[in-house]
Amino acid sequence: MPKLAQMGKHAHTLRVFIVASVPAAFIYAYMSGAESNGILTALAGAQFSAALVGHGLPAGVVICVILSSLIFGRVFCSALCPLGIFQELAGLAGRACGVRESGQNPAGSARTRRGASSPDPFEGSKGLVPLRGTGWIPVDLVYVIPLLVGLGIIFDISPLTTFLDPIAIFGRGIALLRAVKYEETPVIWIALPFFAILIAAFFTRGRFFCGFCPAGLTLGLFSSVAPFGISLSDGCVSCGLCEKKCTTRCVDSKNKRVDASRCVLCVSCVAACPGRFARYGMRAGAPSENGEASRRSFMTNAMRMSAWICGLVYLSGAGIAKTIARFAPNARKNTGGDMFLSGEEYGMDYVILPPGAVSAENFGRRCVGCLACVAACPVRVIKPNRTSHPSLVYTDDFCQFNCVECGIVCPTGAIRHLGVDEKHRTRIGISSLDFMKCVVKTKGESCGACAEVCPTRAVRMVPYTESGAAGLTKPEFDEEYCVGCGACFAVCPAVPNAFALRGVSAQTLTPGIRPTDDEGYPALPPADDFPF
């Protein structure tokens, strides 16, 4: 017993460290800008749902998380999911404030309506549980959620993935705090789901959204057959302390059962048990829900099989989408791209997407709106638009010529990681010059700011002989070399601006930097010394 008590103490100490450090790391990475991009890359790249949506089942992160869940339980949900841990903190705050327990967890309790205990919430059609306080319905109905998200991935219905992805919900919530920090106009509504989830977790004193999370529900299927997990030993006296502390209400102390499919390994039960009869370890022989009877019924129980089918659709969605695109490229319609890649609010056909987005179709299919690219941009020109997805807005600055940070941190592959040389040639938009608005024309003044900052020499100054003024030059624009970085637009002093930018449906490569000619146009500084 002392040994078990010591192990339980160590497990709880580790969880306290995780609950304190992981949210702090995420907040620092999202709020501090480019100086924390290394941390942001690691944290965003470790997200299961983002890797699954963007890269599919073969992704290394996806395989590692599934294997760990299959053996050890929902380790990812316990240690690396920021939305889950923030809910846990909100639930602890609710307990500290004396919020009365609602008695029901949104993911369901192991108790039936009459107060009796069901040996396995998946077992038989009588396995009814309370769900979200809306009444008594079969627990398996929650698996409609991963099914719908999987179908959304297959058919490019982006709202089904964007609005239920845990890292995307978290990223959009932090985006509001970033906007306040940098005194930018926030898109408030995109952060509402994050704060609504935290409020629900506060009042339910638990992980509210974990009962709806498509990633959590799917990983729960694997953890339900994991050999390791939380179990209650025979010495348990059913005092109920573990059940009271459980953040997902997966413990049934009366019958000494733990629903491993919902257990997120918060080890609150281990810390709460005075006799250390709640423990983490091998569950063989433990009176948990995964006994031999449950294992034998696994393949024959239609409800459980339907849950597995829904989970497999979610896991296979990206692979099925790629297969359909390969063999029937015209069979799918990119409804997601049509919804949020329109540049109507900016007065153009397409918004300007980050360099490496490849095309509106690719970006629309893969972007979940986690806004890691927004956090990584050193000059904050990548901003969330009204539909929560990122685009470039050149109101305060422009896309830096040598910067490729957004492609490095993107966890879904919606923004491809470009090399600096490729970035120099990637056209993300196209500029146009209206010389009639230029101060050289309207005021007869020398300027040349656009030519000075243009990194590809798409703009250069040539003699303005028509003016009759000696030495006066005017800008000459060649769109063949324009990459749409917005430098000319950002520095133009004319009101209204002499330059206009528009997005492109597909990013292409330009010839590169415009060569100098015999007329003595100055050469561009070396890349390492380029000041913009």
What are the pLDDT digits (tens) for 424-474?
999 999 999 999 999 999 998 889 999 999 999 999 999 998 877 778 999
Cβ distance 249 to 259 under 8 Å? no
Q: Identify the weakest region by mean pLDDT among 210-219, 255-264, 300-309, 330-339.
A: 330-339
User: 532 or 5, which is more confident?
Assistant: 5
pLDDT at 35 (0 to 100) = 81
pLDDT at 34 (0 to 100) = 79
Q: Is the peptide bond before 496 cis (omega within 30 degrees of 0)?
A: yes
Checking if the pLDDT of 299 tops 70, the result is: no
* C-alpha–C-alpha distance, residues 364 and 505, integer Å: 11
Using pLDDT thresholds of 50, 70 and 90, give the confidence band for residue 303.
confident
Eight-class DSSP state of 522: P
pLDDT at 113 (0 to 100) = 33
pLDDT at 157 (0 to 100) = 82
Checking if the pLDDT of 91 tops 70, the result is: yes
* C-alpha–C-alpha distance, residues 236 and 251, integer Å: 12
By C-alpha distance, which of 349, 357, 431, 420 is closest to 390?
Answer: 357
pLDDT at 493 (0 to 100) = 94
The CA-atom distances, in angstroms, between 362 and each of 14, 337, 383, 416, 462 are 40, 8, 19, 10, 40
Structure confidence by residue, pLDDT tens digits, 502-511? 888 889 999 9
Task: Tell me how long the chain is.
Answer: 532
* C-alpha–C-alpha distance, residues 356 and 353, integer Å: 8
Structure confidence by residue, pLDDT tens digits, 377-406? 999 999 987 777 899 999 889 999 999 999
pLDDT at 340 (0 to 100) = 53
Q: What does the pLDDT average to over 404-427?
A: 95
* C-alpha–C-alpha distance, residues 9 and 130, integer Å: 32
pLDDT at 130 (0 to 100) = 37
Q: What integer best gives the mean pLDDT of the chain?
A: 82
Amino acid at 278: A
The reported pTM is: 0.84
Checking if the pLDDT of 124 tops 80, the result is: no
**Residues of the chain above pLDDT 90, percent:** 51
Q: What does the pLDDT average to over 313-337?
A: 76
For Cα atoms 123, 125, 130, give the angle at the middle one, nearest 5 degrees.
85
Q: What does the pLDDT average to over 229-254?
A: 89
* C-alpha–C-alpha distance, residues 488 and 122, integer Å: 62
Amino acid at 195: F
User: 333 or 193, which is more confident?
Assistant: 193
Checking if the pLDDT of 150 tops 50, the result is: yes
Checking if the pLDDT of 338 tops 60, the result is: no
Cβ distance 228 to 281 under 8 Å? yes
pLDDT at 409 (0 to 100) = 96
The CA-atom distances, in angstroms, between 191 and each of 43, 150, 175, 178, 342 are 20, 24, 7, 11, 21
Using pLDDT thresholds of 50, 70 and 90, give the confidence band for residue 120.
very low
Checking if the pLDDT of 298 tops 60, the result is: no
Buried residues in 206-224 as b, exposed as e (16+ CB within 10 A): bbbbbbbbbbbbbbbbbbb
Checking if the pLDDT of 344 tops 80, the result is: no
Q: Identify the weakest region by mean pLDDT among 330-339, 373-382, 509-518.
A: 330-339
Structure confidence by residue, pLDDT tens digits, 1-39? 445 445 555 667 788 888 889 999 999 999 987 788 999
Q: Identify the weakest region by mean pLDDT among 169-173, 334-338, 363-367, 401-405.
A: 334-338
**Residues of the chain above pLDDT 70, percent:** 80
pLDDT at 425 (0 to 100) = 96
Q: Which range has highest mean pLDDT (191-205, 294-308, 457-471)? A: 191-205
Helix ranges (DSSP H) in 447-511:
449-453, 487-491
pLDDT at 389 (0 to 100) = 84
By C-alpha distance, which of 395, 410, 400 is closest to 379?
Answer: 400
